[in-house]
């Protein structure tokens, strides 16, 4: 059944792919974005669709609409961007979350909060499952994002307990794919662009830190399943449990691009998590979901995209 759906941060990398999926499924979508990190280019192909509306708006400001589902994705997600204005990042996470929860409460709407694996901080357990409370430094440069997202989760569950708001909380692990911003400073886009330009591949630290890399289509499928299921709030991890070192990623990018770039090591970034791997046991059990796209295949698709924009 067609629904009226609001997607905050809908012009961003993940948001634009989500809007595509929702429109393809026959829904009417309002995309809310202040374009701080999002881009109209990501949704340009949708703007002639009668079931798609773009509204330039800051999620921190009140917004009134009649909607049945809300996907709250509004927040800069790369360290380069969320550390640019850390106070703004905290406000987007906290005030923006309150605005959307209030909207959900007034409408009796279901709301999905796009949280993050960063709530686990630099984890002391491996892999990370949803019962782990995390190891986060509340006064680090990353805290504006980490703690902001943790507070947003708190607000979701308090609104659920106090007001009965129908919430969904997902924790997204590293996601990549076409329409990633070229300047977001994330490791996948950095490596691909450096390789395509013949520049040195820069690794911060010795390259032994690990991450789980998830292709965008897998994430969108997980989000749709989470939003559609009844009687399950989460939080739930959505990520690819494959674990790769940063050096392994760099070497694979070099192989797939055919680049002759060299790999160089720079000083490690302070408070950078050393290991990150998604435990998706709960996601498999409750959503019957697991990723389908292997890293090599996903990188090939992403490299093909970046070849068209460099």
Active site residues: 145
Distance CA 285, CA 18 (A): 23
Distance CA 181, CA 40 (A): 12
Alpha helix (H) ranges present in 55-142? 79-82, 86-107
Measured in whole angstroms, how far is the alpha carbon of residue 208 from the centre of its chain? Answer: 23
Distance CA 70, CA 47 (A): 19
Q: Which residues pair with 212 in a beta bridge?
A: 243
Burial code (b: 16+ CB inside 10 Å, e: under 16) for 148-186 equals bbbebbebbbebbeeeebbbbbbbbbbbbbbbbbeebeb
What is the three-class DSSP state of 20? helix
Report DSSP state, residue 12: S
Measured in whole angstroms, how far is the alpha carbon of residue 269 from the centre of its chain? Answer: 21
Distance CA 54, CA 133 (A): 37
Measured in whole angstroms, how far is the alpha carbon of residue 213 from the centre of its chain? Answer: 12
What tokens appear for 145 in the block? 């994002």
Distance CA 194, CA 234 (A): 38
What tokens appear for 170 in the block? 């997902």
């Amino acid at each position: 059944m067609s629904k009226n759906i609001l997607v905050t941060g809908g012009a961003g990398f993940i948001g634009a792919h989500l809007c595509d999926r929702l429109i393809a499924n026959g829904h009417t979508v309002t995309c809310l974005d202040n374009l701080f990190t999002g881009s109209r280019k990501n949704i340009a192909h949708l703007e002639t669709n009668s079931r798609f509306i773009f509204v330039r708006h800051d999620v921190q400001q009140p917004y009134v609409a009649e909607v049945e589902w809300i996907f709250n994705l509004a927040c800069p997600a790369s360290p380069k961007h969320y550390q640019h204005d850390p106070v703004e990042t905290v406000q987007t996470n906290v005030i923006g979350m309150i605005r959307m929860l209030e909207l959900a409460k007034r409408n009796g709407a279901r709301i999905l909060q796009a949280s993050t694996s960063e709530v686990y901080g630099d984890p002391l357990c491996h892999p990370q499952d949803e019962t782990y409370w995390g190891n986060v430094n509340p006064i680090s440069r990353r805290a504006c994002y980490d703690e902001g997202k943790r507070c947003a989760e708190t607000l979701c569950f308090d609104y659920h307990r106090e007001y009965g708001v129908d919430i969904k909380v997902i924790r997204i692990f590293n996601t990549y794919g076409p329409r990633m911003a070229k300047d977001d400073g994330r490791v996948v886009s950095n490596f691909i662009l450096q390789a395509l330009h013949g520049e040195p591949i820069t690794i911060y630290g010795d390259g032994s830190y690990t991450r789980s890399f998830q292709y965008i289509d897998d994430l969108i499928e997980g989000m749709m399943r989470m939003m559609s299921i009844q009687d399950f709030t989460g939080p739930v991890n959505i990520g690819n449990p494959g674990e790769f070192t940063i050096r392994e990623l760099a070497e694979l990018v070099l192989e797939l691009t055919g680049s002759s770039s060299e790999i160089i090591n720079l000083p490690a970034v302070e408070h950078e998590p050393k290991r990150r791997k998604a435990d998706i046991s709960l996601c498999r059990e409750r959503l019957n979901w697991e990723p389908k796209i292997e890293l090599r295949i996903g990188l090939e698709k992403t490299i093909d995209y970046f070849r068209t924009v460099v």
